């Protein structure tokens, strides 16, 4: 369920709905398809600036393309590198990164262009009122439902801080150990139910799982708070041990180890997730080939 349209470029698929079973048929591909940039919306900052939020839709079920920053992966106007990913996980990945724009941005567009497998797609970020993101956008797009009362506290995103070094250099055979600290306001008070209410206020119906979604940033359903590691940038494949970790209570630490398939420059991202809102921190890693390894890119 999405409460407003997303700025997602048009893509072709076949969808068949057969009431009342709601059977969905879709043409999907394991590899060979392109990646579509998505503008999720914008948020207000206390200093009067704005933050534009972006995600993407990788049309492949399995392929995870590497699209380095440059002509095929760039923002305009201004600096083409706005912290966008170069490693793209399969299917729909929402709210993956943020770009801050000044308070006098006005009605200009911030355009993210991606070219892969011979196709070019664009996402257009604007500050139109319809694109402002509030708590309900995160709740409903992340398939959670919370009951709100007039006087209850407002959920704030968890904070996350690196306790290990933000930059590292190692050889290909080595692994990298990373530690983060997470602090939260203990809201939601329990793990948000991944379901929605039906027309009957006393009956709850589970949300269907969309074939478009393979969200990598999502804690386990019975966790209230957790940390998820993803590969944000880099030419090879990064393996995390573990990928996801629960954080008991309102604060704690998480330790993960990363190994790399090939040399190159990588950005690893840790998300703190309370089931509704997220925050992230990055580690930049330079991986060099060993004495008998392949030459560095």
Given the structure tokens 């629960």, which residue do they identify? 246
Angle ∠(138,140,144) on CA atoms, nearest 5: 95
Same domain, 90 and 186: no
263 and 203 fall within a common domain: yes
Choosing from 113, 141, 169, the residue where a domain stops is 141
Among 8-22, 120-134, 180-194, the minimum mean pLDDT is found in 8-22
157-184: average pLDDT? 97
Domain identity same for 129 and 242: no
Residue 237 located in a structural domain = yes
Indicate whether 54 belongs to any domain. Answer: yes
> Does residue 121 sit in the same domain as residue 221?
no
Q: Which of 97, 103, 102 is nearest to 38 (CA)?
A: 97
- Given 90, 109, 141, the domain boundary residue is 141
| 16 is a domain residue | yes
**Whole-prediction pTM:** 0.84
| Residue 163 and residue 123 in one domain | no
Each residue of 238-285: pLDDT tens digit?
A: 999 999 999 999 999 999 999 999 999 999 999 999 999 999 999 999
The answer to whether residues 78 and 181 belong to one domain is no
User: Are 228 and 263 in the same domain?
Assistant: yes
Residue 269: give its domain's CATH number: 2.60.40.10
Note whether 236 and 262 are within 8 A (CB): yes
Q: How many folded domains does the chain comprise?
A: 2
Q: What is the mean pLDDT of the chain?
A: 86
How much is the pLDDT for 25? 56
Residue 296 covered by a domain: no
Q: Which domain holds residue 18?
A: 7-141
Is 297 a member of any domain? no
In a domain, 130, yes or no: yes
Same domain, 134 and 26: yes
Residue 167 and residue 252 in one domain: yes
Does residue 189 share a domain with residue 262? yes
Residues 6+ away with beta carbon under 8 Å from 235? 66, 68, 262, 264, 297
The verdict on 15 and 137 lying in the same domain is yes
What average pLDDT does the segment 209-216 reach? 70
The contacts of residue 149 (CB under 8 Å, 6+ apart) are none
Same structural domain for residues 111 and 46?
yes
Residue 293 lies in a domain: no
Domain boundary among 141, 175, 198: 141
Of 6-15, 111-120, 140-149, give the range with the top mean pLDDT: 111-120
Phi and psi at residue 102, in whole multiples of 5°? -70, 165
| Pick from 253, 52, 274, 51: nearest CA to 156 | 274
Give the 3-state secondary structure of the chain: CCCCCCEECCCCCCCCCECCCCECCCCCECCCCCEEEEEEEEEECCCCCEEEEEEEEECECCCCCECCCECCEEEECCCCCCCCCCECCCEEEEEEEEEEECCCCCCCCEEEEEEECCEEEEEEECCCHHHECCHHHHHHHCCCCCCCCCCCCCCCCCEEEECCCCEEEEECCCCEEEEEEEECCCCCCCCCCCEEECCCCCCEEECCCCCCECCCCCCCCCCCCEEEEEEEECCCCEEEECCEEECCCCEEEEEEEEEECCCEEEEEEEEEECCCCEEEEEEEEEEECCCCCCCCC
Q: How far is CA 154 from the centre of its chain?
A: 22
């Amino acid at each position: 369920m999405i409460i407003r349209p997303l700025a997602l470029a048009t893509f072709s698929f076949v969808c068949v709905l057969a009431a009342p079973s709601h059977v969905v048929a879709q043409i999907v591909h394991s590899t060979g398809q392109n990646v579509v940039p998505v503008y999720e919306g914008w948020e207000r900052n206390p200093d009067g600036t704005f933050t534009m939020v972006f995600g993407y839709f990788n049309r492949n079920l399995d392929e995870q393309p590497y699209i380095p920053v440059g002509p095929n992966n760039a923002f305009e106007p201004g600096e083409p590198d706005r912290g966008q990913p170069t490693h793209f996980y399969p299917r729909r990945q929402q709210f993956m990164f943020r770009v801050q724009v000044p308070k006098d941005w006005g009605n200009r567009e911030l355009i993210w262009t991606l070219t892969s497998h011979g196709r070019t797609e664009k996402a257009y970020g604007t500050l139109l009122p319809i694109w402002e993101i509030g708590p309900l956008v995160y709740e409903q797009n992340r398939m959670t439902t919370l009951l709100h009362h007039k006087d209850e506290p407002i959920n704030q995103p968890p904070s996350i801080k690196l306790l290990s070094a933000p930059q590292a250099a190692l050889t290909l055979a080595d692994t990298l150990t990373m530690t983060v600290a997470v602090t939260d306001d203990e809201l939601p008070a329990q793990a948000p139910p991944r379901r929605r209410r039906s027309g009957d206020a006393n009956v709850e119906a589970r949300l269907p799982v969309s074939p478009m979604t393979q969200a990598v940033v999502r804690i386990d359903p019975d966790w209230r708070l957790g940390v998820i590691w993803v590969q944000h940038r880099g030419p090879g494949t990064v393996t995390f041990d573990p990928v996801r970790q629960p954080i008991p209570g309102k604060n704690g630490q998480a330790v993960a180890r990363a190994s790399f398939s090939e040399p190159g420059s990588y950005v690893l991202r840790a998300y703190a997730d309370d089931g509704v809102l997220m925050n992230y921190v990055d580690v930049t890693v330079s991986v060099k080939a060993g004495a008998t390894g392949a030459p560095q890119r």
